[in-house]
Amino acid sequence: MVSLQNVFSQNNDDTTRFIPKYRPGINYTFKTNVGTVHQGYVVDETINYITVESRKTGEKIELKKNEIVSSRSLSTREGYENDILGNNPHARNYLLTNSAFLFEEGKGTSTSHWFLFENIDYALTDNWAICVNSLAFYPFSIGVKCAFKIAEVDYVGANVFGIANVLSGNTGGSLLWGYGAFGKYTHGSSNRNFTFSGGILGLNSDIFSTVSTSPFVNLLFTSASYCNRFTKKGALNLEGWYFPQTLTLMGGIGFKLLADERNCWSFGCYTFFDNSNNNVRLNLKTVPIPYLGISRKFN
């Protein structure tokens, strides 16, 4: 009798000491130790399990607490966007630029610009990826990318790459045409976000007609990008580029058609701006450059 009383007493003590970790009725995202991500509203919690419900499908999923490696509650706007729009599977790409959102381990992405330039990323982990760029299907550069989450909706990343002289076999010139390195900061959700980037692009001086004593001409640049997904299938993208050494400004606007989880089309245009006498205005003498791109996921 005494031992049974001790058992019941221990069970009552465990129940009394149980303090819920998550708030019921709040929208969370959970990442498990096997890499899966679940998003939904908390409807039940025990000592070992938590149950979340998707408002979109009504599906309930039970997760083991000891398998959850990270979690965060979504803001009211994020929750609304996720309930109505869902997660944006193509949030890493704007038009020509990329965000600092995390990669998907073991996944590859191919982004083609004008069906001429192509960038291929392969994610080694959620934080690191290798990248290859090609011109007319001929590889000409290779590099490394990284991305890290530093706060709830804040991310930082970087990219380092080298550009090979694909004509060196015929010209006998240098094997290195150039190099680049830049960092970026992204703030926001997958459906609405902005990114600031800045870095350096070094190009072989043989490319330019002007005489240079340095083997490479280094160009600094900054860029800003913005994405606003307004429907399940559509998103507005804005980009701006500035090269301070040449006082060159370039702006772009485009719309993304999210065909499905794997494919996304981009349509837009770029134009140049005058930056003289500290006045920025549209350069009407230049013809806007049409933009066409497609992003595809594989693996």
Using one digit for the tens of pLDDT, what is the confidence trace for 266-296? 999 998 876 655 455 555 566 788 999 999 9
25: left (phi over 0), alpha (psi -120 to 50) or beta: left
The CA distance from 146 to 175, in Å, is 26
Tell me if 2-73 shares its fold with 108-298: no
Q: Please state the CATH superfamily assignment of the domain spanning residues 108-298 in this structure.
A: monomeric porin ompg (2.40.160.40)
Using one digit for the tens of pLDDT, what is the confidence trace for 62-109? 999 999 988 888 766 666 666 677 789 999 999 999 999 999 999 999
CA-to-CA separations, 64 to 11, 47, 73, in angstroms, rounded: 20, 10, 18
Nearest CA-CA partner of 271 in 251, 253, 255: 251
**Bridging pattern class, strands 216-229 and 234-243:** antiparallel
Q: Which CATH architecture has domain 2-73?
A: Roll (2.30)
The ranges assigned to domains in the chain are 2-73, 108-298
Using one digit for the tens of pLDDT, what is the confidence trace for 216-274? 888 999 999 999 999 989 999 999 999 998 888 899 999 999 989 899 999 999 988 76
The CA distance from 26 to 40, in Å, is 8
Is the pTM higher than 0.75? The answer reads no
> Is 52:64 a contact under the CB 8 Å cutoff?
no
Whats the size of the chain, residue-wise?
299
